[in-house]
Amino acid sequence: MLKDKFNRIHDYLRISLTDKCNLRCSYCNPNDLAKGFFANSSRMTANEIDQIVSVFVKNGVKKIRLTGGEPLIRKDAKEIILRLSKYPVELAITTNGVFVNEFIETFKEAGLKSVNVSLDSLLKEKYFSITQRDKFDRVTDNIKLLVANDFHVKVNVVVMKDINDSEIPEFIQWTKDVPVHIRFIEFMPFTGNKWSSEKVFSHKQILNIISSKYHYIKLLNEKNDTSKKYFVPNHKGSFAIISTMSEPFCNGCNRMRLTSDGKMYNCLFAKAGTDLLTSLRLGNNIEPLIKECVQGKSFMLGGNNETKNWGNQTTVTHERSMISIGG
Ligand code: SAM
């Protein structure tokens, strides 16, 4: 079992399959972001992912989420999904949805139950202005395809002030007849994404907008939940808010991250990672490194809060962008 020094059990691993993405979302992978992609040789192969995962599972990991970059652009994504499906874990994926139609049978074969799809606008033109790609119809069709095939579909929406905050009610309206679960995410700062505190639309502001139009009920949080969950009575779907900026939820954190070049991060905001891949390639046992990395975890926000100015534009810096560490 992987426990940190605050006695938090770590049983959830998020694996970034690639640091590349086919979209250019302004808040994550903007066109002008200086990208030093990992060389193919430094990227974990399907076999290495399998070997590393086996060590995590042996140490109590119960849930694995594949992310990126865009996980489904990897040529061997099907092989990886199927190989990981043999482990006794809950396997999930976060995707921009563009290639879901090519993977739906693989998802079923792998026993995947839940798929998170990112969609920041319900307006085609705005979707284009955020992502710089004309994929709105494909993504919305693929969300319909997932719902029709009984997947639990969560839709990730990064809420940015004056960009898409006005669409919050439309997202809630969507949950009336369609069982989609909207997750409003507070805009977080990462290298090159032009974050400023004024662009953050907080948990409280999101709820204020919703309450002006809908009567909603709060659901009880489960242990390790990163989001606060709500539902509107008689709606088929639900909504949740991920309040990393205004109300961080580090208390019950059970997450670890593995980048596509095989570095383990004990927090999304950790300043450095532990190189598992080099050690594996040298034929070493990576288990002690994993345990050490978990033990070294700060209580909150990768230690950034220790400066007491979390969220201050000048102090929140990150060694890697969101796209390279894996969202
Ligand atoms: N390509 C996949 C996708 O689009 O979902 C997976 C990777 S993406 C980095 C994972 C999630 O991180 C997405 O839901 C995205 O909206 C979120 N994300 C990226 N940058 C963010 C930021 N600056 N603030 C909040 N959420 C962010």
Domain that holds residue 86: 12-325
Is the minimum distance from the CB of 226 to ligand 1 under 6 angstroms? Answer: no
Is the minimum distance from the CB of 270 to ligand 1 under 6 angstroms? Answer: no
Q: How far is ligand 1, taken at its centre, from the CA of residue 219, in Å? A: 24
306 has pLDDT over 90? no
309 has pLDDT over 80? no
Which residue owns the Cα nearest ligand 1 atom 1?
70
Contacts for 193 with CB less than 8 Å, ≥ 6 apart: 26, 27, 28, 30, 33, 321, 322
Mean pLDDT of 60-72: 97
89 has pLDDT over 60? yes
Is the minimum distance from the CB of 68 to ligand 1 under 6 angstroms? Answer: yes
d(CA 327, CA 47): 23
15 has pLDDT over 70? yes
Which stretch of 78-92, 114-128, 215-229, 303-317 has the lowest confidence by average pLDDT?
303-317
Domain for residue 3, yes or no?
Answer: no
pTM reported for the whole predicted model: 0.94
308 has pLDDT over 70? no
Which among 28, 159, 260 is the best mutation to test ligand 1's pocket, defined by most ligand atoms within 8 Å of the CB? 28
d(CA 72, CA 66): 9
Domain for residue 304, yes or no?
Answer: yes
In tens, the pLDDT along 148-205 reads: 999 999 999 999 999 999 999 999 999 999 999 999 999 998 878 888 889 999 999 9
In tens, the pLDDT along 26-58 reads: 999 888 776 667 777 799 999 999 999 999 999
Which of 291, 286, 296, 271 lies closest to 53 in space, CA to CA?
286
Confidence (pLDDT) at 204: 95
The phi, psi pair for 246, rounded to 5°, reads: -85, -30
d(CA 152, CA 182): 11
Q: What is the CATH number of the domain that holds 38?
A: 3.20.20.70
d(CA 66, CA 77): 10
Is the minimum distance from the CB of 28 to ligand 1 under 6 angstroms? Answer: yes
307 has pLDDT over 70? no
Do 80 and 46 form a contact (C-beta atoms < 8 A)? yes
In tens, the pLDDT along 277-297 reads: 999 999 999 999 999 999 999
Domain for residue 189, yes or no?
Answer: yes
Q: In the chain, pLDDT over 70 holds for what percent of residues? A: 92
Domain for residue 287, yes or no?
Answer: yes
Q: Which residues of 58-79 are buried (b: 16+ CB within 10 A; e: fewer)?
A: ebebeebbbbbbbbbbbeebbb
Going from the C-alpha of 227 to that of each of 22, 33, 154, 249, the distances in angstroms are: 27, 28, 12, 8
Domain for residue 4, yes or no?
Answer: no
Is the minimum distance from the CB of 185 to ligand 1 under 6 angstroms? Answer: yes
The number of distinct structural domains making up the chain is 1
Domain for residue 2, yes or no?
Answer: no
Confidence (pLDDT) at 318: 55
Domain for residue 142, yes or no?
Answer: yes
Q: How far is ligand 1, taken at its centre, from the CA of residue 94, in Å? A: 9
d(CA 212, CA 195): 28
Residue 47 CA to its chain's centroid (Å): 23
Is the minimum distance from the CB of 193 to ligand 1 under 6 angstroms? Answer: yes
Residue 295, CA atoms < 13 Å, CB-side half-sphere: 6
d(CA 278, CA 41): 11
Do 127 and 88 form a contact (C-beta atoms < 8 A)? no
Tokens of 299: 């209580």
Confidence (pLDDT) at 189: 85
Handedness of CA 254, 259, 261, 264 (dihedral sign): negative
323 has pLDDT over 80? no
Domain for residue 7, yes or no?
Answer: no
Do 24 and 131 form a contact (C-beta atoms < 8 A)? yes
316 has pLDDT over 70? no
319 has pLDDT over 90? no
In tens, the pLDDT along 238-291 reads: 999 999 888 877 888 999 999 999 999 999 888 889 999 999 999 999 999 999
